[in-house]
Homo-oligomer: A and B are copies of this chain.
Amino acid sequence: MYTITNDIDVRDMARGAVLLGSGGGGDPYVGELYLRNQLAEGRSPNIIKASELADDAFVVSIAGVGAPTVIIEHLVSTHTLLRLLEASETFYGRKIDALISAEIGGVNSMFPLALGTRAGIPVVDGDGMGRAFPHLEMTTFGVYGCAATPSVLMDDSGNVVHVHTTTNRIAEDVVRSVCASLGSMIFGSFYPMSGRQVKQLTVHDTVTHTLEIGRRIRAARESQLDPVKGVLQFLDAPAQGRYARELFNGRIVDVVHETRDGWHWGYVLISSGAGREPEFRIEIQNEYLVARHNGKTVTIVPDLIAILDAESAEPLTAEMLAYGQRVRVIGYSAAPIMRRPECLKVFGPRLFGIDEDFRPVEQLRAAE
């Protein structure tokens, strides 16, 4: 049984969350600090499997909403998270039996753990994305019929908004607008679910998976092994239907990004130094969405792209990329549930304006 008992675990968890963020989801650092505070006060999270939940248990996702660049600058208030929990229980009219992350990639891996630890509520080992996505409706929860609302939104100043929309896409629009009007950082409770729903609609075991990713990188470093190889050995797991490969190794020769309408846009060019032109390009819309090698797509959303520091294998969010960095790029197949046709209709390439069908990373690599 995995758990998180010390700062090394928290650091491992955060490292794994950045890798699964596929460039987005925000730096887990603020959540990490908060979780470390909880441990320092003698608390530790109770991470449970979905199968341990009673069918009629009441489970809610707790998430921060905001532009990644804003989240980084924002201090997380214990007070706000606890008030959100209390307001949510009042609003839903029942006790919350467990929390679940909607998005295991990035900072939203941490908030349910931090709040669950503080409030003594179990956290489900799973999430709704198995990675990070920019929109609230882009979850397996939503794809398989769970409504993102009713929701309680709250900011640090005590402004509270309840949202109850007819579709998850409208929920995304309303929540994003409220977020912008309240200074670009809010917390919310989303996807109220029964235990039975959690068992059916979740990308399972992603909390422990995240933790293990961070551990493998650290363990390889400590053993003087190549940490990129170390984590690939764990990620590439045919028995679980997962595939992972190193796609490219080179130096960042151009990185263009800007925050527009609360979103992070850009691209990064990586060169091996062998030719005159950089060979490798990754498109960014909050997350790394598509990686192309000499113009040929090698990994595309919802499969994951991770950019790691070439030496330490520390995963890098899009905000961390800088000119001249030596990096290695990993392509990692999404969890099998995420690649189903009904899922691709909600978070496949075309939903991001990419005029290309999804093709699994292992097929793209085989065709190279």
Q: Which residues of A contact B (CB under 8 A)?
A: 157-166, 170, 173-174, 176-178, 180-182
- Measured between beta carbons, the chain B residues less than 8 angstroms from A165 are 159-160
Please name 7 further chain A to chain B contacts, defined as beta carbons within 8 Å, in addition to the given A157-B170, A161-B164, A162-B162, sorted by A numbering.
A159-B165, A159-B166, A159-B170, A161-B163, A162-B163, A176-B181, A177-B180
State whether B174 touches A164 (Cβ < 8 A).
no
Chain A residues touching B, majority SS: mixed
Bound-state CA distance A71–B159 (Å) is 28
Which of B166, B176, B182 meets A157, CB within 8 Å? B166
Answer whether A161 and B158 are a contact pair too, CB < 8 Å, given A174-B182, A180-B177. no
List 20 A-B pairs, Cβ < 8 Å. A157-B166, A157-B170, A158-B166, A159-B164, A159-B165, A159-B170, A160-B164, A160-B165, A161-B162, A161-B163, A162-B162, A170-B181, A173-B182, A174-B178, A174-B182, A176-B181, A177-B177, A177-B180, A177-B181, A178-B178
State whether A159 touches B174 (Cβ < 8 A).
yes
- Measured between beta carbons, the chain B residues less than 8 angstroms from A174 are 159, 161, 178, 181-182
- Measured between beta carbons, the chain B residues less than 8 angstroms from A159 are 164-166, 170, 174
- Chain B residue nearest in CB terms to A172: B181
What's the minimum C-beta distance from A157 to chain B, rounded to whole angstroms? 6
- Chain B residue nearest in CB terms to A160: B164
- Chain B residue nearest in CB terms to A162: B162
Residue with the greatest number of chain B CB neighbours at <10 A, chosen from A157, A161, A176, A178: A161
Bound-state CA distance A180–B173 (Å) is 9
Bound-state CA distance A181–B161 (Å) is 14
State whether A173 touches B166 (Cβ < 8 A).
no
3 smallest beta-carbon distances between A and B, as pairs: A162-B162, A177-B177, A177-B181
Bound-state CA distance A160–B163 (Å) is 6
Bound-state CA distance A279–B157 (Å) is 49
- Measured between beta carbons, the chain B residues less than 8 angstroms from A161 are 161-164, 174, 178
Bound-state CA distance A359–B163 (Å) is 43
